[in-house]
């Protein structure tokens, strides 16, 4: 990759200020396949200065000018679509078909939906004689994760462009190559100098420098709750806006009038998708106690045929998890689940048979899980699901909400009215009834320690705007 050892700053590919590099590891093989440069505080200074210098002009561009840029970006991204899918598969372990069908597709979907939202977005309104204006917040620092990389890049960059902001992006150093391709697409689309800047690096160095930088007006972070707290603390001294999409421990409540076999099968498959590495995965499956044993049998039958293997292998349903650190954490939590007395129904410790190298985790199902168990409390971020029996609807809701997280919740019922009643009680930013189609126009974000603010469509644009009231604007 031509620009792997460079950063994109002020409209050019430039050499880093330091000499540090990092190998990018293929989690299917545990072998390095690329090397990136690691940035320093000086690189962040340079990128922030470029973004600051570009802001006055870009913030004053018209809606039509920004729409034209975003439409050019959409075409440039589509031209690199296959490249994005291929590199995502290799750097974060997504099966190639899944990377092409889902991972890379998120970039197209979010950009198209943001363009649609911008076309009719109300930046001004008159309330009596007061003009309410929504203006770009300024320079935005963006710190994105490795699990849905291009999804989160586009969820930040697209609405920031729509709002008229300039930006500095630090992608995950674990899966950074898709961001380099994205930067190349931005350049090909003719993004003005300084509007978009890319600096690779780690969280403690580049991420923290972005979060506390005095020339950065807002930081938008997606990642773990632990890291999100550190970002917020680093940002506090400059009183900048902090937008966060953090961890989750999402509950999936199957009511007693649901099609149990379908509800459990789809819930387990949803949890295992992306090798369990989704912040909104339905990892806690609540089922009526009288149906517990049947649910366990369905869950077991669902995971056993799932083929775990290299991301590039035909027929692979679950690729490896992203890194040795993640693999070790997941193994520790599986072991803890066994020690704390949960029933291991499928999967368990170690790699699947025949896979001796690579960060492969067995699709794992625990049953008869209780709320005090570690696997019911901590975010595992791997292909592990916990089945929890309950007695009444009220009990299920109370237990589902008994978590510091609040990103997503799921409800399955044969009665839409009943499902809506349960959904209204869930303390989560998203509730999904009966496994609906994904909606790029629905607001995405969490309650409680799952973050603050929302992404997607017009909700995302709002996050990058300040509100100004000009009193007397409409006076005679």
Query: Quick one: pLDDT at residue 50?
Result: 99
**190 lies in the same domain as 257:** no
**375 lies in the same domain as 413:** yes
CB contact at 8 A, 253 and 263: no
**241 lies in the same domain as 111:** yes
**283 lies in the same domain as 424:** yes
Domain assignment present for 1: no
CB contact at 8 A, 423 and 79: no
CB contact at 8 A, 196 and 8: yes
CATH code, domain carrying 416 = 3.40.309.10
Domain assignment present for 266: yes
Q: Report, as ranges of residue numbers, the positions in the chain whose pLDDT lies below 70.
A: none
Domain assignment present for 407: yes
**229 lies in the same domain as 285:** no
**427 lies in the same domain as 457:** no
Q: Closest by alpha carbon to 64, among 126, 133, 120, 124?
A: 120
Query: Quick one: pLDDT at residue 89?
Result: 98
Task: List Cβ<8 Å contacts ≥24 apart for 435-444.
Answer: 435/266, 435/267, 435/270, 435/410, 440/109, 440/110, 440/112, 440/113, 441/113, 441/117, 444/155, 444/245
Query: Quick one: pLDDT at residue 475?
Result: 85
Query: Quick one: pLDDT at residue 1?
Result: 76
Query: Quick one: pLDDT at residue 208?
Result: 97
pLDDT in tens, 208-231: 999 999 999 999 999 999 999 999
3-state DSSP call for residue 467? Answer: strand
CATH code, domain carrying 199 = 3.40.605.10
Domain assignment present for 462: yes
Domain assignment present for 291: yes
**208 lies in the same domain as 192:** yes
**345 lies in the same domain as 221:** no
Query: Quick one: pLDDT at residue 457?
Result: 98
Residue 58 in tokens: 């870009």
Query: Quick one: pLDDT at residue 311?
Result: 98
**Alpha-carbon distance 222 to 441, whole Å?**
19
Domain assignment present for 136: yes
CB contact at 8 A, 23 and 34: yes
Give residues with Cβ within 8 angstroms of 226, minimum separation 6.
Answer: none
pLDDT in tens, 32-58: 999 999 999 999 999 999 999 999 999
C-beta atoms surrounding 399 within 10 Å: 18
C-beta atoms surrounding 233 within 10 Å: 13
**Alpha-carbon distance 429 to 173, whole Å?**
28
Q: Mind telling me the catalytic residues?
A: 245, 279
Q: How do strand 218-222 and strand 241-245 relate by DSSP bridges? A: parallel
Q: Say how many domains are in the chain.
A: 2
**203 lies in the same domain as 112:** yes
**237 lies in the same domain as 302:** no
**Alpha-carbon distance 403 to 389, whole Å?**
17
Domain assignment present for 43: yes
Domain assignment present for 292: yes
**235 lies in the same domain as 316:** no
C-beta atoms surrounding 473 within 10 Å: 15
Q: Is the dihedral of CA 102, 24, 190, 60 positive or negative?
A: positive
Residues spanned by the domain of 346: 251-439
**152 lies in the same domain as 264:** no
């Amino acid at each position: 990759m031509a620009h792997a050892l460079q950063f994109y700053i002020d409209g050019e590919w430039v050499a880093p200020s330091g000499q540090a590099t990092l190998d990018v590891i293929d989690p299917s093989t545990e072998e390095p396949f690329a090397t990136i440069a690691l940035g320093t505080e000086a690189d962040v200074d340079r990128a922030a200065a470029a973004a600051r210098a570009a802001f006055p002009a870009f913030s004053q561009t018209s809606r039509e000018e920004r729409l034209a840029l975003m439409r050019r970006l959409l075409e440039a991204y589509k031209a690199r679509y296959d490249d994005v899918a291929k590199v995502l598969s290799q750097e974060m372990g997504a099966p190639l078909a899944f990377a092409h069908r889902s991972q890379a597709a998120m970039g197209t979907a979010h950009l198209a939906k943001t363009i649609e939202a911008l076309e009719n977005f109300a930046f001004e309104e008159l309330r009596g004689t007061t003009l309410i204006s929504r203006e770009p917040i300024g320079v935005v620092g963006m710190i994105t994760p490795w699990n849905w990389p291009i999804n989160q890049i586009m969820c930040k960059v697209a609405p920031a462009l729509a709002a008229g902001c300039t930006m500095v992006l630090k992608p995950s150093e674990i899966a950074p190559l898709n961001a380099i391709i994205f930067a190349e697409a931005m350049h090909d689309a003719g993004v003005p100098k300084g509007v978009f800047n890319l600096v690779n690096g780690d969280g403690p160095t580049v991420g923290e420098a972005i979060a506390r930088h005095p020339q950065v007006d807002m930081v938008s972070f997606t990642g773990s709750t632990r890291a999100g707290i550190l970002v917020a603390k680093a940002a506090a001294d400059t009183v900048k806006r902090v937008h966060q999409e953090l961890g989750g421990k999402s509950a999936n409540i199957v009511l007693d009038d649901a099609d149990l076999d379908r509800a459990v099968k789809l819930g387990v498959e949803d949890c295992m998708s992306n090798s369990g590495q989704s912040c909104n995965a339905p990892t806690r499956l609540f089922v009526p106690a009288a149906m517990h044993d049947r649910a366990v049998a369905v869950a077991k039958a669902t995971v056993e045929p799932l083929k775990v293997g290299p991301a590039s292998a035909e027929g692979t349903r679950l690729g490896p998890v992203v890194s040795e650190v993640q693999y070790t954490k997941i193994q520790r939590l599986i072991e803890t689940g066994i020690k704390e007395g949960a029933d291991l129904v499928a999967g368990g410790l170690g790699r699947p048979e025949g896979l001796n190298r690579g960060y492969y985790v067995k699709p794992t199902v625990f049953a008869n899980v209780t709320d005090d168990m570690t696997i019911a409390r901590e975010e595992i971020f791997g292909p592990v699901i916990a089945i929890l029996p309950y007695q009444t609807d009220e009990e299920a809701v109370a237990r589902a909400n008994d978590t510091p997280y609040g990103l997503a919740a799921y409800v399955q019922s044969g009665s839409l009215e009943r499902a809506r009643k349960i959904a209204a009680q869930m303390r989560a930013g998203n509730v999904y009834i009966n496994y609906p189609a994904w909606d790029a126009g629905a607001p995405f974000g969490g309650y409680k320690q799952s973050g603050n603010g929302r992404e997607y469509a017009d909700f995302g644009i709002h996050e990058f705007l300040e509100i100004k009231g000009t009193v007397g604007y409409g006076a005679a």
